[in-house]
Structure 1
Amino acid sequence: MVKAEEGSELFCKYYERWIRMYKEGAIREVTMKKYEITLVWLQKLVPDLRLSGLNRITYQQLLNDYAVYHERQTTMDFHHQLKAAVLDAVDEGFIDRDPTRKAIIKGKAPKEKKIKYLNQFELHTLLVHLHLTPEINWDWFIFIIAKTGMRFSEALALTPKDFDFSHQSLIVNKTWDYKGNGGFLPTKNNSSVRKIQLDWQTIIKFSELIRDLPEDKPIFVKGPVYNSTVNDRLERYCKDLGIPVISVHGLRHTHASLLLFAGVSIASVARRLGHASMTTTQKTYIHIIQELENRDIDLVMRSMAGLV
């Protein structure tokens, strides 16, 4: 990277050069887009700020201005993406001191996010009304996500060789680039590489469905794929059946919630979903976990009362 003379380069220009040099081609495209969105906000909020003018006051003002439009966690992510570039600028001598030191993260109060999922009866109602034809269709896609809790991109990437029929399991080790030009991509994180156990009815159905399909080709991908295609189909089913309208991602939440209500441990649910840690599972399903804890308290009280 050519040293900018006396830090006179615009901060947004430096950041753009930085992400092209160090991030482009080294990170997933979806992550790269987040850095590019950060660049857009820099261009909007501080188009004339130069590296030489970057200090704790101007940096804090930048964070404060960004926080007006975003929640605290989003502002924290914005800060982290900028900080990596700023520290490199300090190392290069473009900036005398680290302006990100002791930065205060603010932001709008987060909206209450209650996940949408179906109860067991509603899910059963949906599954029995799917048009599960002798050939693969989008209803089978809905079916397999409901049965496994896979992410949309993970299910798209399924190939016949991912089914281990002898061990009644499904191997998840890749995703499909449906937002880009197609093709296989790595999973979201290392924990997303996993084996998901399947019930024997699902194993039998898919062993017949994929018998004559190419081993290494995606089962569900026949051309360009859009998330809205499946979500619209699922929405029509929900409305016709009089059950809550959920998205395909809501099927993943449904799968997890049914397991938690059935008494499956958080650790097992986290592994099945491919979460990086149990903390992610706990944060995502906090409402369900609290409900289960209340149920446990009632059980404890009844058990203790019976000891007298």
Structure 2
Amino acid sequence: MSRKKYSTKLFYKYYLEWIHLYKDQAIRPVTLKKYYLIQRQLKELAPRLHLNELTRQNYQKILNQYAQTHQKTTTLDFHHHLRASLLDAYDDGLISIDPSRRAIIKGMRPDQNITKFLNFQQVQSLLKVLYLANEINWDWFIYLIIKTGLRFAEALALTPADFNFEKNLIRINKSWNYKEKIGYFQPTKNPTSNRTIIIDEQLMNQFSKLISTKPIDQPIFFKKDCRVFNNSLNRHLANYCQKANIPKITIHGLRHTHASLLLYAGVSVASVAKRLGHANTTTTQTIYLHIIQELEEVDNAKILNHLRQLHS
């Protein structure tokens, strides 16, 4: 009986072919770019590893080496991308085992100096140090995300046409691909991210004046031929946090801040999920579990207090 021969193709070359076969023209360009980035990282980590040499041990070594310079959540994402291709390789008989089975995910500790969200008083302190000029600037961008909870790329893609000043509404139906040298409009993260949110009248009046002379179909915060960097705006925001004597936070953290303030104000999880453009309330509940649990404890106290008043 002849012994089965498994594929001797280099792991990183197989992964590249797998991307071409299953991902090219099937997913958004920004997501596809991530697959290619992981393929290049895999080539650096394991340039001579062949498929038939893959074991749980040397796959774990790849993950461990990657984890030395990345946080745990990023390492988990790296693992998920590779594992999808390895499961196909196993099903197709190219490898004898699934080397990614029961992999241990490690990673660098997150920056302890960065908080996930600010409380109401901290937001008030931040707002006091922003320079909200008579012309649109990046401080207005920060202010808008605090008030709306938009994703970074969604806020970049806003045009004057997205503002309904009569009804105090903002339409989110696109995002901006800021990761390319020449940026462009692209679809939102998922279909449920296409949404319309209500905004307070004061903010709408302010933006009505700020963007009145802007081209109707062009981004309001920058010119299309200008490059925008997330890290630059995070540093800009960090300087304001230091000036306001509050914990350092990122632009994405302002989105979490918006959601947490709404939850603490008693807004339902379903309404918060819809406003943030989450695909379902499970996502919202997972991200803000600690807040929801805290609010449940408050509600339980209210329930018990009410029940104590009911007696025969």
TM range (shorter): 0.7 to 0.9
Q: Tell me the amino acid that sits aligned with residue 301 of structure 2.
A: D
Q: Tell me the amino acid that sits aligned with residue 106 of structure 2.
A: K
Report the count of equivalent residues.
298
Contact 2:153–2:175, Cα closer than 8 Å, also in 1: yes
Q: Tell me the amino acid that sits aligned with residue 171 of structure 1.
A: R
Instruction: Give the deviation of 1:261 after TM superposition.
Output: 0.2
Q: 1:175: which partner in 2? A: 175
Contact 2:160–2:218, Cα closer than 8 Å, also in 1: yes
Q: C-alpha separation between the residues in 1 aligned to 2:240 and 2:230? A: 16
Instruction: Give the deviation of 1:216 after TM superposition.
Output: 0.3
Q: Tell me the amino acid that sits aligned with residue 103 of structure 2.
A: I
Q: 1:60: which partner in 2? A: 56
Contact 1:75–1:105, Cα closer than 8 Å, also in 2: no
Q: 1:107: which partner in 2? A: 105
Contact 1:72–1:106, Cα closer than 8 Å, also in 2: no
Q: 1:231: which partner in 2? A: 234
Q: 2:201: which partner in 1? A: 200
Q: How does 1:180-195 map to 2 (within 5 A)?
A: 180=180, 181-195=182-196
Q: C-alpha separation between the residues in 2 aligned to 1:225 and 1:31? A: 19
Contact 1:75–1:106, Cα closer than 8 Å, also in 2: no
Cα distance change of structure 1 residues 9 and 294 upon mapping to structure 2, 3 Å threshold: same
Q: 1:126: which partner in 2? A: 126
Q: C-alpha separation between the residues in 1 aligned to 2:80 and 2:86? A: 10
- Normalised to the residue count of structure 1, the TM-score between the two structures is 0.83
Cα distance change of structure 1 residues 190 and 63 upon mapping to structure 2, 3 Å threshold: farther
Instruction: Give the deviation of 1:299 after TM superposition.
Output: 1.6
- Normalised to the residue count of structure 2, the TM-score between the two structures is 0.83
Cα distance change of structure 1 residues 88 and 105 upon mapping to structure 2, 3 Å threshold: closer
Instruction: Give the deviation of 1:256 after TM superposition.
Output: 0.6
Q: How does 1:22-33 map to 2 (within 5 A)?
A: 22-33=22-33
Q: Tell me the amino acid that sits aligned with residue 82 of structure 1.
A: L
Contact 1:147–1:255, Cα closer than 8 Å, also in 2: yes
Q: Aligned Cα RMSD in Å?
A: 3.0
Q: Tell me the amino acid that sits aligned with residue 188 of structure 1.
A: K
Q: C-alpha separation between the residues in 2 aligned to 1:6 and 1:290? A: 51
Cα distance change of structure 1 residues 159 and 297 upon mapping to structure 2, 3 Å threshold: same
Q: 2:289: which partner in 1? A: 286
Contact 2:75–2:107, Cα closer than 8 Å, also in 1: no
Sequence identity of aligned pairs in percent?
47
Q: Tell me the amino acid that sits aligned with residue 211 of structure 2.
A: I
Instruction: Give the deviation of 1:269 after TM superposition.
Output: 0.7
Cα distance change of structure 1 residues 306 and 105 upon mapping to structure 2, 3 Å threshold: farther
Q: 2:216: which partner in 1? A: 215
Instruction: Give the deviation of 1:138 after TM superposition.
Output: 1.0
Please, which moves more after superposition, 111-120 or 8-17? Answer: 111-120
Q: C-alpha separation between the residues in 1 aligned to 2:79 and 2:253? A: 30
Gapped runs of 5+ residues in structure 1? none
Instruction: Give the deviation of 1:146 after TM superposition.
Output: 0.8
Instruction: Give the deviation of 1:21 after TM superposition.
Output: 4.2
Deviations 1:244-289 (A, max 9, x none): 2222112111111110000111111111111122222122112212
Deviations 1:39-93 (A, max 9, x none): 2454355444434x26xxx3433443244354876566445433443455567x6
Q: Tell me the amino acid that sits aligned with residue 176 of structure 2.
A: W
SS of the aligned residue for 1:297 comes to: helix
Instruction: Give the deviation of 1:160 after TM superposition.
Output: 0.2
Contact 2:172–2:193, Cα closer than 8 Å, also in 1: yes
Cα distance change of structure 1 residues 300 and 63 upon mapping to structure 2, 3 Å threshold: farther
